A and B are shown apart, each in its own frame.
Chain A
Amino acid sequence: MQQNLKIKTAAIIAIVLICIFGIIGFPKSVDGLKANVQRNIHLGLDLKGGSHLVLQVQVQDAAKTTADQLIEALREDTRTRNIAVGGFDRNDPDQLKDTDTIAVNIHGVDQGKTQLFRNLIAEKYSEWILTPVNGSDYRLNMKPSTLLDLKRNTVTQSLETIDRRVNALGLTEPTVQAHGDAATQSEILVELPGVDDPARVKDLIGATAQLKIVEVKNEGPWKTREEALAGKGGILPLNTELREFMSAGSSGGWYLISRSPVITGQDMRSAKPAADPDSPGRWEAAFTLSQDGARRFEKFTAANIGNKLAVVLDAQIRSVATIQNAISDSGRINGLAGQQEAEDLALVLKTGALPAGIKYLQERTIGPSLGVDSIREGILSGIVGLIAVIIVMLIYYKKSGLNAVLALLLNTVVLIAALAYFGATLTLPGIAGIILTVGMAVDSNVLIFERIREELRTGKSIPAAVDAGFGKAWWTIVDTHVTTIVSCLFLFLFGTGPVRGFAVTLVIGLLANVFTAVFVSKVIFDWELSGGKRVEALSI
């Protein structure tokens, strides 16, 4: 008996030490203690302040891009194989849910070359399904498996790009993760602790900036698009497009440029903002290219000395320069209005382009000052409540009340330590879970004590009454706890973020409570009753 009790006590002390270590580590000073607690207990954004963003990747954008690429490729292939085609177009799915409808229409295919055309599709575009509409018109739909891959890749790529952009902001512990099922939901969750300018961050994350450096055809520039078209007789040469040159908000004319870029955003190695040396007060973003990009750039510039190059950003020409000599690895985009714009552009260039647009579904920004207030008031009210409970317990149950208070404190310690070890985040709903845990922990002790009192009233000896009290209360405690754990299971499986947080905290708290209220409490009673001499009265 004595031996058994010592083993149990040792186990309890060991667990308590492990828990305390989990919360405070080995602090060397008061500041160290604070730092350790802050590191071990992760507070949710609702408590410490920050931005919580849910965004949706507009996958239909990527589907449209893919369809456009298909049209370009088909145009080329039908020409080389001498299949006369009237024209191509695609539909324009506007909503995410319409992504699956993406289709390319091919009109007026030479009826004599039907077999050749079919072969071409089967051979080179097997990820598309060909459906004849009538004798000479066809429709191409994306295969479901290809579509699924496209969705998944688009979301993954967006996730990686956003992750790079967010990390470049230099915040501590930002979170960027998929939200919901990637194939259907295409949502991304971004959590930014301590961000103090959420509107700017939102713009930065959502910037679709696509950068390319292209060859400028040796014509123009024209004042307007119409003039340019008229100058070309209404038809643009193959693989070219007209783009406007914009510099600090004003038009610098329209240029005819090549559609195929020499360099794209993916060839960027780094970019940084700098003051524009040519025009005081203006800013620019200077960039350097990757090795591979630099090689291509050098080859191209060496072959085109005297010709012009344009830096195109988001369908606008940002600078045009004549190639003086072979350039290898750097360039700049000038004419930016301010330092912030230059910084943001440099960041977007560095992190690459998003494969599709994004839409914000949800934003929650808790300013840091509100977070500070919440924590202070939360802690104050928690401590006041705890002290009130402790005082009443001590008055009502005397020395046994002390036992219950110990169990209660221990429960809280075990719960918080478990959260720290699991790396779980403490949020407001989590605190709700802790409050219910404390309520149920108090309840377990009250149940046991009331049962012991009842048993004492029937005239049982003290050890027998304690045993019977614990024994009879046990099944009640099991029933209440299992019922709540069952409900938490459902909340966890079918609930979302905050509801889940509540469920996790509560389950941990209840498991801890079975340990503290039943096991630890009983051991303390056993010590009290094990003095060898007969115990005359129980302080309860």
Chain B
Amino acid sequence: MELFKNTNFDFLGYKWPFIIASLVLTAAGFVSLGVKGGPKYGIEFKGGMLMTVKFASAPPVEQVRSVLTAALSSAPTVQTFESGSNELVIGTEGENDSALGKNRQLVIDALAKTFGQPGNGKLDLNNVGSGALASRLLDPLQRAGVQMAQPEVEKLAASVMQYRDEHGGLLTKIDDLKSLPGLTQKVLTVLNQESYLSPYTATRNIEIVGPKVGADLRQQAINATLLALLGMLVYIWFRFEWIYGVGAVLAVFHDTLITIGIFSLMDKEITLTVIASLLTLVGYSMNDTIVIFDRIRENLQLNRKEKLEDVINRSVNQTLSRTIMTSGLTFLAVLSLFLFGGPVLHGFSLALVIGIIIGTYSSVFVASPLVLFWHNWADGRKKTASAGAPKSVATKAK
């Protein structure tokens, strides 16, 4: 099967609509960034505390917000994690590390007070570790006449916790545990008498980052990326011409800027995983650009008389089939990640979905025109400079 055989589109003829689209997207991103005061950084880059709380049914967002606002000194952010997942993400800020640590305890206590039953003297199975469960069960099991040594009780507690974690981290009925080995009716009775299930769990995800560390991490990630871009520029300069390096790096920079801009427009956070996907996108877009540049170089060597614009057009056409295939296939893989990868991979795959579309067209409509513009400009200058000179002097072409 072949879809693009001997195509002959005048890509460079259509460059303006795309360049304008790029400029508009970039401008929109900048405006959004300007209005919102920079990118919306995730907790790891700005410092703060983040806690994921999962409820057994649709979470009472407003109630959680009002309870926590009363408990904390500054108002927390409370957001639903993903529609239909029953999860809430609670974020607080704090000026230093110990304040953040305190916030965590305040949130946990406030949640327990509102949604759990801390007064009933029982252990909340949805918010407890296996160690605490084992030491809680040890004596009651003995009193109930269950002959289990301490290691066996610990193993039992661990298997209860494992069952809970494999079932979304939240149990709704203690009787659900019946299928576990060693959980006899007697044990179940003891469990029912010693523990209860609150309708939420706060053990899924907690992040605490000191504000200074966040700023450091952010700076380090930016520095590393800029240096990596510089490294690529130098290599491409060495293999091609400096303007190719500049064109490729500017195109990649353009992709990253637009992606960050779109994230700002969509009010999505830049987290560590999004940084990883931005790096992926840089690599991907660079790869795409180099394939076209390679072809331009090859065609220039074959035919030195042809106009650069025609050479670029021909090169883009020759690599079109490959560009569409590779982008299409990569897009498929990333789309699958976006659709089925779950909430943890959500920001990551979203950046890639956006980035692959932009990265593909930027190779054709940003990187290549940049090379062309520069050559036209340099040629024009050469012509005016050598207007009175003998013609043979100014014919050196690359």
In angstroms, Cα B294 to Cα A472, docked, is 10
A378-394 to B contact mask, C-beta < 8 Å, 1/0: 10111011101100110
In angstroms, Cα B182 to Cα A223, docked, is 55
Q: Are A377 and B340 in contact (CB under 8 A)?
A: yes
| Closest-CB distance, B388 to chain A (whole angstroms) | 41
Q: Are B340 and A498 in contact (CB under 8 A)?
A: no
Q: Are B282 and A487 in contact (CB under 8 A)?
A: yes
Q: Are A435 and B334 in contact (CB under 8 A)?
A: yes
Q: Are B276 and A443 in contact (CB under 8 A)?
A: no
| CB proximity to A under 8 Å, residues B223-254 | 223-225, 227-232, 234-236, 239
In angstroms, Cα B298 to Cα A471, docked, is 13
Q: Give A374's nearest chain B residue, CB to CB.
A: B344
In angstroms, Cα B283 to Cα A368, docked, is 32
* A366-B205, A369-B203, A388-B336 as given contacts; A496 in contact with B221, CB under 8 Å: yes
Residues of A within 8 A of B340 (CB): 377, 380-381, 384
* A196-B129, A198-B206, A494-B224 as given contacts; A447 in contact with B333, CB under 8 Å: no
Residues of A within 8 A of B342 (CB): 373-374, 376-378, 381
Which of B61-69, B72-80, B163-171 is the contact stretch?
B163-171
Q: Are A369 and B165 in contact (CB under 8 A)?
A: yes
Residues of B within 8 A of A447 (CB): 291, 322, 326
Q: Give B214's nearest chain A residue, CB to CB.
A: A362
Q: Are B279 and A386 in contact (CB under 8 A)?
A: no
| Closest-CB distance, B348 to chain A (whole angstroms) | 7
Q: Are B273 and A483 in contact (CB under 8 A)?
A: no
Q: Are A370 and B169 in contact (CB under 8 A)?
A: yes
Q: Give A442's nearest chain B residue, CB to CB.
A: B329
A348-379 to B contact mask, C-beta < 8 Å, 1/0: 00000000000111111111111111101110
| CB proximity to A under 8 Å, residues B334-356 | 334-337, 339-342, 344-345, 348, 352
* Chain B interface main SS type: helix
- Whether A21 sits at the interface, judged by CB under 8 Å, is no
- Whether A482 sits at the interface, judged by CB under 8 Å, is yes
- Cβ contact of B132, chosen from A49, A197, A482, cutoff 8 A: A197
| Closest-CB distance, B323 to chain A (whole angstroms) | 9
Interface size on B (CB < 8 Å)?
96
* A368-B165, A393-B329 as given contacts; A479 in contact with B294, CB under 8 Å: yes
Q: Are B337 and A381 in contact (CB under 8 A)?
A: yes
Q: Are A490 and B230 in contact (CB under 8 A)?
A: yes
- Cβ contact of A484, chosen from B209, B272, B286, B352, cutoff 8 A: B286
Q: Are B224 and A490 in contact (CB under 8 A)?
A: yes
- Whether A502 sits at the interface, judged by CB under 8 Å, is yes
In angstroms, Cα B278 to Cα A487, docked, is 13
5 contacts between A and B (CB under 8 A): A370-B169, A378-B341, A378-B342, A475-B294, A490-B224
Using a CB–CB distance below 8 Å, which chain A residues touch chain B?
Answer: 46, 49, 54, 195-200, 202, 339-340, 359-374, 376-378, 380-382, 384-386, 388-389, 392-393, 395-398, 428-429, 432-433, 435-436, 438-440, 442-443, 446-447, 450, 453-454, 457, 472, 475-476, 479-480, 482-484, 486-491, 493-496, 498-499, 502, 506
Using a CB–CB distance below 8 Å, which chain B residues touch chain A?
Answer: 1-2, 5-6, 44, 52, 54, 97-98, 101, 104-105, 108, 128-132, 135, 161-162, 164-170, 201, 203-210, 212-213, 217, 220-221, 223-225, 227-232, 234-236, 239, 272-273, 275-277, 279-280, 282-284, 286-287, 290-291, 293-295, 298, 318-319, 321-322, 325-326, 328-330, 332-337, 339-342, 344-345, 348, 352
